Amino acid sequence: DQGWCGSCYAFGTIEAIEAYTAIKYGSLFTLSEQQLVSCVPNTTGIQQGDPTNFTNGGCNGYMPPMALDWMSSTVLEAVSGWQVPYTSYFVDPDDDSNHRRVQTCGAISQPDGDTVGVTGYEWLPANNESAFEDTLINKGPIIILMYTPPSFDNYEYGIYADAMCVGYRNMQASHVTLL
């Protein structure tokens, strides 16, 4: 549960890295979503760590390809979730009276033990069911961007169905998850 922080991109990206690492090495690492929330370059134009700003771009949403690009180009590697736990649950960018500061990237030290890096990723054609099926069967999970109507906020389990999801043509991607 990402809480108030718009960090679904971090959860979807980290889940994919965890899955592909497990497929390749046979070991499941639990990696830190907070590292991406704190360290991926800020898209709001406000300097990360700015003491006058209680949120950073990390809680204002982001796109998985940009997070993966950052992971593949940075000298930092993904650290474990127990070393850098998710702390941005209570960051509320719309309510200055109810906020916690997002942990700054500089506060996240690199571990001495095992880390996981990203060497690249592959784009699939949008809305191409056969490409998705082939990738899921032969390669593994896929990070997807999906439309979520307001009723999705209360979704907990099972098959989600909402009338706005059927035949609705003005959908815009609003949530990232792992398929």
Q: pLDDT digits over 54-94, tens only?
A: 334 577 777 888 888 888 877 556 777 878 888 888 765 55
Q: Are 49 and 104 in contact (CB under 8 A)?
A: yes
pTM for the structure as a whole? 0.79
Among candidates 69, 87, 80, 130, which has minimal Cα distance to 110? 80
Q: Which two tokens stand for residue 138?
A: 């032969």
The stretch 7-31 carries a mean pLDDT of 90
Q: What's the pLDDT band for 168 if we cut at 50, 70, 90?
A: low
